[in-house]
Amino acid sequence: MDGLNSELRISFVGLPGSGKTTVGRQLARRLRLPFVDSDQAIEARLGCSIREFFDREGEARFRDIEEEVIETLTQDPACVISTGGGAVLRQGNRAHLHGRSHVVYLKSTPEELFRRLRHDVSRPLLQVADPLARMRELFTIRDPLYRETAHFTLETGRPSVATLVNMVVMQLELSGHLPTC
């Protein structure tokens, strides 16, 4: 993959557990680009976990910090960015992601995500009495925003991580963002 555009930024959006970090990290490795997880960048800036900050300061303040971090990350040189599941809730994030990077929406059903995440206590929005209902609610609200932000959508139901990475590379080649091999 030599000859990559030094300004190529690829961002992943999708619900929690859709594979943004896993697929993003593998794609970055394949393209020999830096990988940045926006949640990790936020935690480094905060000096505490997102969950702690969320509990202490609330979601609105967290979204303010997230917006500042996304704004900065989308100006970095070529990289692969994995965003938090709620990053698309802010119009500024949607505009920065769509305008400054090639956005991939990893789309998963709420039921599939519930199976993946049912034992994960690190996700504050899912620490509710009925996490599946919460996941369905998040999907209803966020799916249109993911679709608005994305340049293309990949269904994550059956394909392996390697297959998803290959599909992203193919889409980038077809759209002229990567030289064809």
Asked, for residue 76, whether it belongs to a domain, the answer is yes
**For residue 178, is it left (φ>0), alpha (ψ between -120 and 50) or beta?**
beta
Asked, for residue 169, whether it belongs to a domain, the answer is yes
Q: d(Cα 28, Cα 33) in Å, to the nearest integer?
A: 5
Tell me the sheet residues that pair with 104.
12, 152
Q: Residues forming the annotated binding site for ATP?
A: 17-22, 123
pLDDT of residue 73: 96
Q: Residues forming the annotated binding site?
A: 17-22, 39, 63, 85, 123, 142
Decide if 11 contacts 81 (C-beta within 8 A): yes
- Split into its structural domains, the chain has a count of 1
Q: d(Cα 160, Cα 45) in Å, to the nearest integer?
A: 33
Decide if 23 contacts 106 (C-beta within 8 A): yes
Asked, for residue 181, whether it belongs to a domain, the answer is no
Domain extent for 168: 9-174
- Looking at residue 70, which CATH number applies to its domain? 3.40.50.300
Asked, for residue 4, whether it belongs to a domain, the answer is no
Tens digits of pLDDT across the chain (181 residues): 444 556 789 999 999 889 999 999 999 999 999 999 999 999 999 999 988 998 899 989 999 999 999 999 999 889 999 999 999 999 999 999 999 999 999 999 999 988 887 777 666 666 778 888 999 999 999 999 999 999 999 999 878 999 999 999 999 999 887 766 5
Asked, for residue 89, whether it belongs to a domain, the answer is yes
Asked, for residue 1, whether it belongs to a domain, the answer is no
Asked, for residue 180, whether it belongs to a domain, the answer is no
Q: Residues forming the annotated binding site for Mg(2+)?
A: 21
